[in-house]
Amino acid sequence: MYPSCGGVEEIVVRKQTLVLVAALVWTAAGVNIVRIGIVAALSVTWVWWMILSAIAVYAMFFTMFFRIVKKHLKRIYGYGDKKHCILKFFDVKAYILMGVMMTGGILLRTFHVIPDRCTAMFYTGLGGALTTAGICFGVEYISAAVKRKREKKRKMDGKLYRNYIEILKEELLPAMGCTEPIAIAYAAACAREILGKIPERAVVEASGNIVKNVKSVVVPHTGGLKGIAAAAAAGIVAGCADKELEVLSCVQESDVEAIAAYLKKTDISVVLSDTGRIFDIKITVYAGKESAVVRIADFHTNIVEKARNGEVLFAKELTQEIKESLTDRTCLTVENICRFADEVEIADIEELLERQIEYNMAIAEEGLKNPYGANIGKVLLKNAGDDIRIRMRAYAAAGSDARMNGCEMPVVIVSGSGNQGMTASVPIIVYARETGAKREKLLRALALSDLITIHLKTGIGRLSAYCGAVSAGVGAGAGIEYLRGGKEKAIAHTVVNAVAIASGIICDGAKASCAAKISQAVEAGILGYEMYEQGNEFYGGDGIVTKGVENTIRNVCRLAHDGMAQTDKEILGIMLDC
């Protein structure tokens, strides 16, 4: 609450105007006090020690006021873009301090408690310090205005802009079910097409991370079947290879029994791949003396080999350095992502993001409507009341509840993951609906969240022992901060704070508990922006945090990609022993 001034508290202004108001009020107060000091000074004879005393008073008070100026600027700039009460250029403590000082000054002069000589020295120094503090507010207002004007003129490089559009187009793809078993189903459907008939047996060679992410998750359109063999059987019996990550979308109800019967009677063996690649799937199918091979490497739809009866039909060179045949992601930076979100033509991203909103909110609502897995979304929502923080977490978790446990609805993925796609989008959509954010602002916030998620995952890799939901939760926190009016600095601090909180969460495969991890990742994103808005942050040297958001992101990538490589092997070993 702020003091009432006959309706003044109802006047609302932007935070930049609050800085200007602070400059005018502080300067006016300072000039008035200097005037009182000058009046007193004209009635006395000045000596050298009085001059030194006035300078000492000035130095003492300006040191104090300068700290107060910085504190108020940080508080004011922490506000969102919405308008605020004009009285908020001060906080309550400052109003109390101002009242005490004014009352004390009036009483001292009214009752002539101090001689004119002391009034001259004290008021001249105090007034000068106040005036200088007001000038500091004014300088900040002018410099910020100049900076905003320059930023409006500055446009994103055309090639970079097009790259960001392409990255979103390459990443925001529809997929049905967990993407690793779907990739197996896709490879199996392709192999069946090459063979030209239903195979009599099949061999699936899969890297450890594929095994980890397929072992415990339900394959959609299979009646609840889990595992690599089930995914391969579904692709062989009823998959539509041309639909890629929606390969099982064409499965009919009658096919479900056929898939189960085929799995029961057919020898589908699973072999742990030793190629050294994190993402590697190779399926060989046989019918009599005939055979067909399909291999996918590095990402979910990247077919690198096709063969029939030993004859190579298609081959793509694989180097030791894993490079996706996609737009170079190293062009991503938090600074440029923020600029892109501000400048992007909505028509360039609208179709992609509207589909993300439609698909991901639909499966989130399905997860809250019906029982799936551990029902994390429902557990969270049961006691949420009107708490928007809990609802953001609950809706994101509910989408994973459904997706990890056999729901056949599609999602729009990010970084090859449906869980990441939902985590990066659903909390922002829920927050936007709660606050009545404009549609355009929502789309810009989603683009920012998706790109932040992709940026973090680029150095980590598609699959890792580091939980991918953490990156998406960070993206969600940044996207919500954007909705709240945060600019590049606030978003960078949100990212750093959030990764510092949640970077210890491991990935132990796709399964029901992913929903709970998503909830925690979103909570970290929320806490990340709340910390910054309240003037708190993690500093360089606090664990893996170092100075600069890009440097901290590099540390996270190093931890996840290099440092957790052995952890990944241990996790797989534990899972295979279970």
* CA torsion, ordered 331, 334, 335, 339, to nearest 10 deg: 90
Whose tokens are 């190779």? That residue is: 282
d(Cα 467, Cα 499) in Å, to the nearest integer?
12
Phi, psi (deg, nearest 5) at residue 297: -140, 150
Question: Mean pLDDT of residues grouped by 10 in the chain (578 residues)?
Answer: 50 84 88 84 78 88 88 81 77 77 69 71 85 91 81 76 94 85 93 94 90 83 88 92 87 90 92 85 94 90 91 81 69 95 94 96 96 93 85 96 87 91 97 95 97 93 84 96 94 95 87 92 95 91 91 92 86 78
Both tokens assigned to 174: 């529809």
pTM score: 0.71
What pLDDT is stored for residue 191 in this prediction? 95
What pLDDT is stored for residue 111 in this prediction? 62
What pLDDT is stored for residue 152 in this prediction? 64
What pLDDT is stored for residue 95 in this prediction? 78
d(Cα 450, Cα 441) in Å, to the nearest integer?
14
d(Cα 376, Cα 422) in Å, to the nearest integer?
15
What pLDDT is stored for residue 428 in this prediction? 98
Which of 238, 241, 243 has the alpha carbon at shortest distance from 256?
A: 238
d(Cα 427, Cα 476) in Å, to the nearest integer?
7
Domain ranges for the chain, please list them: 8-151, 176-315, 328-577
d(Cα 244, Cα 301) in Å, to the nearest integer?
7
What pLDDT is stored for residue 6 in this prediction? 47
* Class of the CATH-defined domain 176-315: alpha beta
* Class of the CATH-defined domain 328-577: mainly alpha
d(Cα 24, Cα 13) in Å, to the nearest integer?
15
Both tokens assigned to 467: 């939980």
What pLDDT is stored for residue 113 in this prediction? 63
Check if 176-315 and 328-577 are the same fold: no
Both tokens assigned to 466: 């580091």
DSSP assigned state of 243: G
What pLDDT is stored for residue 347 in this prediction? 93
For residue 473, count other CB atoms closer than 10 A to its CB. 35
d(Cα 231, Cα 233) in Å, to the nearest integer?
5
**Length of the chain counted residue by residue:** 578
